[in-house]
Amino acid sequence: MASFIFDIGKTNIKAYVLDESGNELWSRANENTSNDNPPYLHIDVENIWQWLLQSLTLAGKEFTIDAINISTHGACAVLIDSQRELALPVIDYEAEALNENVDEYLAIRPGFKHTLSPNLPSGLNLGRQLWWLKANYPQQFKQASTILMYPQYWAWKLSSIAATERTSLGCHTDLWQPQQDTYSSLVDALEIKALFPKLVDNYQPLGTVTEEISQLTGLPANCLVFPGVHDSNASLASHLFGRADRALTAVSSGTWIITLSTQAKLDNLNEQQDMLANVAVTAKPVACARFMGGREFDHICKVTQTDISKPLDVKDLQTAINSQQMVLPGFVPGCGPLPNRTGEIPQSAECGKALATLYTALMIDYELDLLAAQGDIYFGSTGHKNRLLCEVLAQLRPKESMFIANKASGTVHGCWALTRWDKPVIAEGDYDAVVPAKLTGLDTYKARWRETLNI
């Protein structure tokens, strides 16, 4: 028996099959691109759906799939009409139009102390998207009979059961009050509360695949469909599995790098520095700090004309430190701990990947300080893609113990864990301890970096 995990990131869509111990048996991936045709930048959900059906069919020929779970990026919802069709195209949170004429929205959105959701650019606040769609497409918006958060849209497509869950409601949407575990005043202001389906726990199955899906893909009729989860919270769930009450910090990576600290005080959050609370799969608010680290890493390598696939050597890092060259944030306006600052990259950089690695480690280190994060630090796919990054961070923070997960990516493993949440499986080989790097002059490099930024 095996679990099928569908992971929709902002950059790529991926499918995996994991066995009963969480080992990866099969995977495939495809680029995720949005459609810039009218009426606005929107997600091509039909293309994703066809790819998903194809993936389920291929996986089902090799394995007996008994459970399906889904993780997706945040800041996305789908409006469904009474005919089970899209009431409006699924807007991409990077649609530039979402930055225009927002004074009315700002007047009705709840304050940070209620939602722990900062005012973010474009459509990174899902509430702004819904307000904008209602204001600009009122007739189509009226046709919506259901609002589904993005993971639950795919679960609905597979099971025909509509549901809502907390991790997607609670990721900087303005729609949820994490500390009160209820909807915010914005939901009433937009008159949309009745459009949200029942609230469910994401470790309980919704039901099974529909007869049509079973026939289309060859999946067993009793294959369970789980509600789905916000991807960063899936990553956190992979480390909470069997240890939900421990103080720990998870570093979730992808297009975004998000630091989630289970015991950090919510009072430490500063909305002006892209800090917020997410809601964990345990339904508890979790203090977070984030920046668009994956995109910035790629940008730094591109500007410095560095082959990102070329292996990085510790000598490259030492050379970069010795050169005193450094990258300064930031490269995505309105995001990260220094949202109003324009990024700087040395023009004569010898190794852009080394500079990008040092930059990313310094940014994560700074965000850990902002959170006053507690407990051990766990990495998922970051560690697999760039172990030296973790080793640099371990040298920067000698008082914390750091670990890299050996299973599938944190997001995928967390999704899998939710399909068997009451049966924790923790093996000694699940994590590798990170040995700190031994770079000369790193502390001085860090001090100069922070002094330059006046932080």
Tell me the pLDDT tens digit for each residue of 63-73: 999 999 999 99
Using one digit for the tens of pLDDT, what is the confidence trace for 132-160? 999 999 999 999 999 999 999 999 999 99
Using one digit for the tens of pLDDT, what is the confidence trace for 374-384? 889 998 766 77
* Average pLDDT over the chain, rounded to an integer: 94
* DSSP output for 56-96: HHHHHHHS-EEEEEEEE-SS-EEEEETTSSBSS--B-TT-G
pLDDT of residue 384: 75
Q: What span, in angstroms and rounded, lies between the C-alpha atoms of 167 and 184?
A: 15
pLDDT of residue 408: 61
Closest among 313, 320, 241 to 281, alpha carbons compared: 241
Q: How confident is the model at residue 243 (pLDDT cuts 50, 70, 90)?
A: confident
Answer whether 371's CB lies under 8 Å from 337's CB.
no
Statement: residue 29 has pLDDT above 70 = yes
pLDDT of residue 405: 83
Statement: residue 409 has pLDDT above 80 = no
Lowest mean pLDDT among 60-64, 229-233, 406-410, 451-455: 406-410
Amino acid code (one letter) for 73: H
Q: How confident is the model at residue 308 (pLDDT cuts 50, 70, 90)?
A: confident
Statement: residue 293 has pLDDT above 70 = yes
- What lies within 8 Å, CB to CB, of 100 at 6+ separation is none
Statement: residue 427 has pLDDT above 60 = no
- Quote the crossing angle between the two packed helices 314-323 and 387-396, to the nearest 10°: 50
Q: How confident is the model at residue 94 (pLDDT cuts 50, 70, 90)?
A: very high
Using one digit for the tens of pLDDT, what is the confidence trace for 155-184? 999 999 999 999 999 999 999 999 999 999
Statement: residue 238 has pLDDT above 90 = no
CA 30, distance to chain mean position in Å, is: 18
Using one digit for the tens of pLDDT, what is the confidence trace for 14-26? 999 999 988 899 9
Answer whether 277's CB lies under 8 Å from 287's CB.
yes
The residue-averaged pLDDT of 18-38 equals: 94
Facing residues of 207 across strands?
225
pLDDT of residue 350: 77
Closest among 77, 209, 100 to 151, alpha carbons compared: 77
Q: How confident is the model at residue 240 (pLDDT cuts 50, 70, 90)?
A: confident
Gyration radius from the chain CA atoms: 22
